[in-house]
Amino acid sequence: MKERIEWVKNTMPKTDTAPPMDLMTEEAVKKAWNFHRSFPCYAVTPLINLSHLAQRLGIRALYLKDESYRFNLNAFKVLGGSYAMAQCIAQKLGQDVSTLPYAVLISEAIKKKLGDITFYTATDGNHGRGVAWAANTLRQKSVVFMPAGSSQTRLQNILKEGAEAQVTDLNYDEAVCFAHEEAAQDPQGIMVQDTAWEGYEEIPGWIMQGYGTMSYEVHQQLARNGVSPTHIFVQAGVGSLAGSVQGYVAHRYKEQPPVVTVVEAAAADCLYRSAKENNLVLVGGSLQTIMAGLACGKANTVSWPILKRYSGCFVSVPDWVAAKGMRMLGAPLPGDRQVISGESGAVTTGLLAAMLEDDEYRDLRESLGLHEDSVVLVFSTEGDTDPERYRSILWEGAWSSV
């Protein structure tokens, strides 16, 4: 018997305290986008119209932003890490990041002023690879710690980018604490982590702004097609990406905001539980899920106020939902473009299909107002970052019913 999808509608009281919405203004996001497009390898990632799947599911349109093409790193995460690192460098130099495009950052003059910086982080794979790549590209160093059970393929990908990296015997949140301790002991060390806690919020805020490049691109792409989304599904680990997307959307669509649904792995559903309890909840333990990019048990304290204020629904999903999405995108309907999407990338598509196809989740789709006129946007945040697992799911049907 399949494990059940669980959900809670956002009924949390709206406080008078304004969330940190200035993080995700059009101006702030465009500054991050301008930084990213200064890289020679920058290219806008595809927005794919899955028209035949939309018709099958009974909605007007389904658009998917495919981040497997981002900077040739197979995932979106590099957007946040690279921009935060540039902001750290700008702060050290006493300059605005807008004066430090790629060509300036890699110059000999900047290197002489800065000396050697070592960027520390913890990761399940994609964030660490992005930090390692950006550090190497910007002529700096990186040290990456991975939680127990991390994929050896993902570790090797990080090592190939020039980082010092190792798999620890810690869970994700413990690895974050360990990386923070190591960075604090290094006079030239800087922690670049995509989560926040009291006293560590500036850099995670920059990371969220860096993720905004993806939102900036996709809404420009939609606008060129004369389309506005009615619903957005976005995956969450600590909630940095979800808060980034939700913050930008709240600014861009003030008159008719789309319904944003936050999607988590059931093994690490800290935001779902927090919404249910109206209080931040920590999920401990091993956090074992095939959705490695979402295996985080502690919410980002910068992102949470944004999600609490604006998001419509929080959903906790078992692993089979992600596997379903991967198979649907990897073996598309005739006429739709194939998308190679990993476990964390395909979960939103899998959820959308499950709730529209299965009457067991009729109450969920009705609560979200999904119907034949709905225009849905999802993000495929990664490609096949673990190729062996990808093949086991697509070829052998792994995680189809558990």
pLDDT digits (tens, 9 = 90+) for 135-151: 999 999 999 999 999 99
> Is the per-residue pLDDT at 17 higher than 70?
no
pLDDT digits (tens, 9 = 90+) for 45-94: 999 999 999 999 999 999 999 999 999 999 999 999 999 999 999 999 99
Residue 18: per-residue pLDDT: 65
Name the burial class of residue 40, with classes exposed (0-12), middle (13-18) and buried (19+) by CB atoms within 10 angstroms of its CB: exposed
> Is the per-residue pLDDT at 153 higher than 90?
yes
Residue 402: per-residue pLDDT: 55
- 222 and 341 co-located in one domain: yes
How many domains is the chain partitioned into structurally?
Answer: 2
Q: Name which of 7-16, 188-197, 257-266, 352-361 the model is least confident about.
A: 7-16
- 243 and 213 co-located in one domain: yes
Q: Where are the alpha helices (DSSP H) in 293-368?
A: 304-310, 319-330, 343-357, 362-368
Give 71's contacts (C-beta < 8 A, 6+ positions apart). Answer: 39, 41, 42, 78, 133
Q: Is residue 43 part of a domain?
A: yes
- 176 and 229 co-located in one domain: no
Asked if 124 is an active-site residue, the reply is yes
**Residue tagged active-site, from 124, 173, 269, 386:** 124
Question: What values do phi and psi take at 9, rounded to 5?
Answer: -75, 145
- C-alpha span between 10 and 126 (Å, rounded): 29
pLDDT band at residue 2 using 50, 70 and 90 as cut-offs: confident
- 71 and 90 co-located in one domain: no
Q: Is residue 71 part of a domain?
A: yes
Contact status, residue 117 vs residue 138, Cβ threshold 8 Å: no
Largest CA distance in the chain: 63
- 40 and 88 co-located in one domain: no
Question: Of 151, 186, 203, which residue sits at a domain end?
Answer: 203
- 27 and 136 co-located in one domain: no
Residue 87 structural domain? 78-203
Q: Is residue 257 part of a domain?
A: yes
Q: Is residue 402 part of a domain?
A: no
Residue 58 φ/ψ region, left for φ over 0, alpha for ψ in the -120 to 50 degree band, beta for the rest: left
Amino acid identity, residue 399? Answer: W
- 99 and 34 co-located in one domain: no
* Residue in the structure block whose two tokens are 């906790």: 316
Q: Is residue 315 part of a domain?
A: yes
Contact status, residue 296 vs residue 270, Cβ threshold 8 Å: yes
Contact status, residue 346 vs residue 65, Cβ threshold 8 Å: no
Question: Of 141, 171, 203, which residue sits at a domain end?
Answer: 203
Strand partners, 145: 122, 166
pLDDT band at residue 16 using 50, 70 and 90 as cut-offs: low
**Residue tagged active-site, from 77, 141, 298, 324:** 77
- C-alpha span between 263 and 266 (Å, rounded): 9
- 57 and 101 co-located in one domain: no
- 250 and 283 co-located in one domain: yes
CA distances from 193 to 2, 21, 100, 198, 242 (A): 34, 20, 21, 13, 15
- 25 and 67 co-located in one domain: yes
Question: Of 180, 203, 226, which residue sits at a domain end?
Answer: 203
- 321 and 334 co-located in one domain: yes
> Is the per-residue pLDDT at 300 higher than 80?
yes
145: domain CATH number is 3.40.50.1100
- 239 and 383 co-located in one domain: yes
Asked if 77 is an active-site residue, the reply is yes
pTM attached to this predicted model: 0.96
Q: Is residue 401 part of a domain?
A: no
